[in-house]
Structure 1
Amino acid sequence: MPNEADTRLQLIGQLFADNAQANMATLAANDRQIVAAADLLIDCLDRGHKILSCGNGGSAGDAQHFSSELINRFERERRALPAVALTTESSTLTAIANDYAYERLFARQIEALGQPGDVLLAISTSGNSANVCEAVDSAHAQGLNVLALTGKEGGRMAALLQEQDVELRAASNSTARIQEMHLLFIHCLCRLIEDHLLD
């Protein structure tokens, strides 16, 4: 019988294999969409606008990760870029959740901060997060375009997107694999933005 160490090694190997399979399936489904998403963000930044980002849980971490890469740097030295993660201000978040509803968490901030020409990066592994879907609606009402990172079947968020929006959908039904693909999407976008600015 295999011992515990062998079982763990087998599990780790399977997780890496699952990640590799999700990588290639996601690339095949999204390669041109990634370029379109980068163009959407580049056009926003070139015109002097900003990128707002939101998500829950691990997706909140991804929103903050993306924002930090733009404001500071990704791989190369360049000017700071305007990006705001709507997931970080605890006083604002708790006030909105308390006075309105958790579903209004991001939409209310977009009403305050969003300007026509800005872009909302909306992240949801299922595409069904109520507060992220409301953020998409608020973004459209404020004149923002939307870049949606989704998974599974795209959920409600995919159905809310308009012609000028872009969806990047991870080709997996596993939340963990979707989150891994979302991070890869983010790094691809950051690289393409930096290449545009510097090359």
Structure 2
Amino acid sequence: MSLESLYPFLHAGRADLDELLADVTRSTREKVEEIGRLRAEVAATEAAELARCAEAMADRFGRGGRLFTFGNGGSSTDAAGLAILFTDPGEGARPLPATALAEDVATLTALANDVGFEVVFARPLAAAGRPVDIALGLSTSGGSANVLRGFDAARRRGMLTVGLAGYTGGPMAEVAARGEIDHLFVMPSSSVHRIQEAQTTTYHVLWELVQRALR
């Protein structure tokens, strides 16, 4: 594969470059409009449930509860960011105990190697989770087997369970319909990028509502 085929803009003439920049501008505008519509849709349909979830989370934190977050890939990164948001929120906000399960690399790799990757979240939650704690799992598809196993372990421990999913919710929506996930927020999009952007907005709103409830 030639360098020109990888980076055509480096070899483009002025007319081609203007067309490329116009395409990039148009694509950027469309993406901004798309995530704006998705965020507005989630806000319109989930506002009341977000408030109920935040109240339930605040109640757990008020009784000494801790937040455990988990997910795979980009969702794992979001889970880590969410845990940091709660533990180190900055001046004027109340720090709250939170742990991203995938950050414990020793435990995660030991379980993945010795038992199986499907239990890397379930085993820590079963070992450390208490009825006063919160389990928050993220999955763009809603079908991550280890996230679903994590929710099952958390429910068995009596923990408050909160899920963030995309598309139509996948298996996570089926589990929630059976009452096995307490609060589920679905980002109705087929774009992984837009789903993760909307999930980030959603958990920031949850954090703000929890802070307000605790005040």
Global fold match (TM > 0.5): yes
Task: Write the letter of the residue equivalent to 2:78.
Answer: D
The Cα of 1:192 is off from its aligned counterpart by 1.2
Q: Which runs of 4+ in 1 moved over 6 A?
A: none
Task: Write the letter of the residue equivalent to 1:31.
Answer: A
Cα 1:163–1:91 change in 2 (3 A) is closer
Task: Write the letter of the residue equivalent to 2:88.
Answer: N
User: Which SS does the other structure have where 1:87 is aligned?
Assistant: helix
Structure 2 residue aligned with 1:90: 105
The Cα of 1:196 is off from its aligned counterpart by 2.5
How many residue pairs get matched? 197
Structure 2 residue aligned with 1:129: 144
Where does structure 1 lack aligned partners over 5 or more consecutive residues? none
Structure 1 residue aligned with 2:63: 47
Structure (1 or 2) with the larger CA radius of gyration: 2
Cα 1:9–1:66 change in 2 (3 A) is same
The Cα of 1:21 is off from its aligned counterpart by 1.3
Q: Tell me, in whole angstroms, the C-alpha distance in 2 between the residues paired with 1:54 and 1:93.
A: 11
Task: Write the letter of the residue equivalent to 2:213.
Answer: H
Task: Write the letter of the residue equivalent to 1:122.
Answer: G
User: Which SS does the other structure have where 2:195 is aligned?
Assistant: helix
Matched, 1:63 2:72: no
Using CA pairs under 8 Å that are at least 6 residues apart, name the structure with larger relative contact order, 1 or 2: 1
Answer yes or no: is the 8 Å Cα contact 2:151–2:161 preserved in 1: yes
Q: Tell me, in whole angstroms, the C-alpha distance in 2 between the residues paired with 1:48 and 1:17.
A: 41
TM-score norm. by structure 2 comes to: 0.86
Structure 2 residue corresponding to 1:18, chosen from 34, 40, 43 = 34
Q: Tell me, in whole angstroms, the C-alpha distance in 1 between the residues paired with 2:77 and 2:45.
A: 24
Identity, in percent, stands at: 32
The Cα of 1:100 is off from its aligned counterpart by 0.6
Where does structure 2 lack aligned partners over 5 or more consecutive residues? 1-14
Structure 2 residue aligned with 1:193: 210
Answer yes or no: is the 8 Å Cα contact 1:127–1:158 preserved in 2: yes
Over aligned residues, Cα RMSD in angstroms?
Answer: 1.6
Matched, 1:155 2:167: no
Answer yes or no: is the 8 Å Cα contact 1:125–1:178 preserved in 2: yes
TM-score norm. by structure 1 comes to: 0.93
Q: Tell me, in whole angstroms, the C-alpha distance in 2 between the residues paired with 1:194 and 1:144.
A: 20
Structure 2 residue corresponding to 1:7, chosen from 23, 35, 40 = 23
Cα 1:33–1:97 change in 2 (3 A) is same
Answer yes or no: is the 8 Å Cα contact 1:136–1:160 preserved in 2: no
